[in-house]
Amino acid sequence: MKSYLLGIDIGTSGAKIIIIDSEKNGEIACSVNKEYPLYTPKPLWAEQDVEDWWNAVVLGIKEAVSKIEAKPEEIKAIGLTGQMHSSVFLDKDNKSIRRAMLWCDQRTSKECEEINETVGEDRVINITCNPVLTGFTAPKIVWLKNNEPENYAKIHKILLPKDYIRFMLTGEYATDVSDASGMAIFDVKNRCWSDEIINKLEFSKEWFGKVYESPEITGYLLSNIAKELGLMAGIPVVAGAGDNAASAIGNGIVESGMVFNSLGTSGVVFAYADKPIIDPKLRVHTFCHAVPGKWHIMGVMLSAGGSLRWYRDTFCDTEKYIADYHVDDAYNIISKGAEEIPIGSEGLIFLPYLSGERCPYADPNARGVFFGATLRHTRKHFSRSVFEGISFGLNDSFDILKDMKIPISTVIATGGGARSNFFRNILSDITGYEHCTMKNDEGPSFGAAILAGVGAGIYKDVTEASKANAVIVNRNKVDKENHVKYEKYIRVYRDLYKSLKDNFAKLSEIE
């Protein structure tokens, strides 16, 4: 009998369902994506319907199981992952009270200030190892209290995206330490809910589920759901992890010196840590890792692949038309054009702050900017400047890790953008670090499936399982001459934010 593991990722653009063969070194048997909409009812707001997530998961699992003709008893365990911070509010009937506010939603600046005043900024940082930021979950709860008191009064449970899917699968309210770390109510050093913060903010501890380490079993597949999905009742569902911690498991980031650079909707630079290390300047996050008893340091830019997608959809109808005609991908056409342009885009610089920014600037007012345009610049110049601007933003996090003396020996490029050799070359040249890619590039969903295997006893532990399934297949080396040239552009890129910061704030006040 075959032995499969199922991973579910509740991403921002859609749900990804993968099935891996645990008897073939984690070989991916099937991968299915199901998209769903994102709503922006006001500038800098971002919301989704939880029903869309669940419908996508149901359809995705059915399709995946059907594709490989898996027998119900061959699926041994289920692992979960998803976007962090986003808030799911359930009433006493377990119905969603309102659309979930997402990780990139920037509406809660005043609520962040309120939390700091109520709890004390130093206490928040000491307990959570992070400043409270607009994208985190706690300020969303306070926002609901301040702006939708009728909805706030209905709260029975508050869940993160993957944990809503867990509830639908098992009937259990639970989360894991990595995902809980980004809620601004979690004691990251001691890996438990902070009674102090919860009490001072007048939240109910009953709103939040039990916290587990990532490979622990949190419940079992309900019989009615199993029947709907075509699976066996009683399949174990493990705690899983937030998307970046899960991606780290899939990419072998389980020991000192290992770092990944993720090019998804957001951009993430993620480093393993044996202990919770806090950046004195609070530019990056310190969260619990999916490896039990370990932590990670993480820099996040809010619009990495999101900037590229915006650029494609807003300015590249021609490239999309050509891609459709040649049965190609529009991003490939955009990349080919950008490759014709010299490094530095002949003085055109893009600031990728389309959703505000988190690292190194916790600034919800920051905006996207093209700077330095001249009559010489073509659309191909603008294309290259977007790739470079995203890379400049990610480079900020690498420099912070160096400031913190976090060892960097191997950098793994992951996420959809990392499939571009052109993009990886730019990243290597700008950061000064060789970027590698893995045999399996499914990211968080792959890590979730590995965690499921640990929970089911198929693998000994998380570290062993991660190393066994993480195989490097490609290396993009650094062009030292290009690196030196890029350093000059990096200085201008950083000065631009400083010179525009006050005007970003003024613009937000006008709106």
SS3 state at 474 = strand
Fold of 305-437+479-510: Nucleotidyltransferase; domain 5 (3.30.420)
Whole-number Å distance between alpha carbons of 452 and 74: 14
Is 23's pLDDT higher than 90?
Answer: no
The tens digit of pLDDT for each residue in 392-443 reads 999 999 999 999 999 999 999 998 889 999 999 999 999 999 999 998 878 8
Residue 250 makes CB contacts below 8 A (sequence gap 6+) with 414, 438, 440, 442, 443, 444, 445, 446, 447, 450, 466, 469, 470
pTM (two decimals): 0.90
What is the rounded average pLDDT of the residues 463-492?
94
Residue range 91-141, pLDDT digits in tens: 999 999 999 999 989 899 999 999 999 999 999 999 999 999 999 999 999
Place of tokens 């933003």: 393
Catalytic residue status for 243: yes
Angle at 379 between CA 493 and CA 327, to 5 degrees: 120
3-class DSSP assignment, residue 430: helix
Q: What is the mean pLDDT of residues 484-497?
A: 97
Tokens of 349: 């610089």
pLDDT in tens, 82-99: 999 999 999 999 999 999
Q: Which CATH architecture has domain 4-251+443-473?
A: 2-Layer Sandwich (3.30)
> Could you read off the pLDDT of 36-51 as tens digits, one per residue?
999 999 988 999 999 9
Question: What is the mean predicted confidence (pLDDT) over 483-502?
Answer: 97
Q: Which two tokens stand for residue 154?
A: 């209905």
CB of 240 within 8 A of CB of 81?
yes
Tell me if 394 sits within 8 A of 435, measured CB to CB.
Answer: no
pLDDT digits (tens, 9 = 90+) for 70-85: 888 999 999 999 999 9
Q: Where in the chain is the domain with CATH 3.30.420.40?
A: 4-251+443-473, 305-437+479-510
- What is the pLDDT at residue 378? 97
319 in the Ramachandran plot: left (φ > 0), alpha (ψ -120 to 50) or beta? alpha
pLDDT in the model for residue 147: 98
Lowest-pLDDT range, 1-5, 266-270, 366-370?
1-5
pLDDT tens-digit map of 150-207:
999 999 999 999 999 999 999 999 999 999 999 999 999 999 999 999 999 999 999 9
Q: How many CA atoms lie within 13 A of 204 on its CB side?
A: 10
CB within 8 Å of 177: residues ≥ 6 apart = 186, 191, 211, 212, 213, 214, 288
The one catalytic residue among 9, 179, 243, 441: 243
- Average pLDDT, rounded, for the chain: 95
pLDDT above 80 for 25:
no
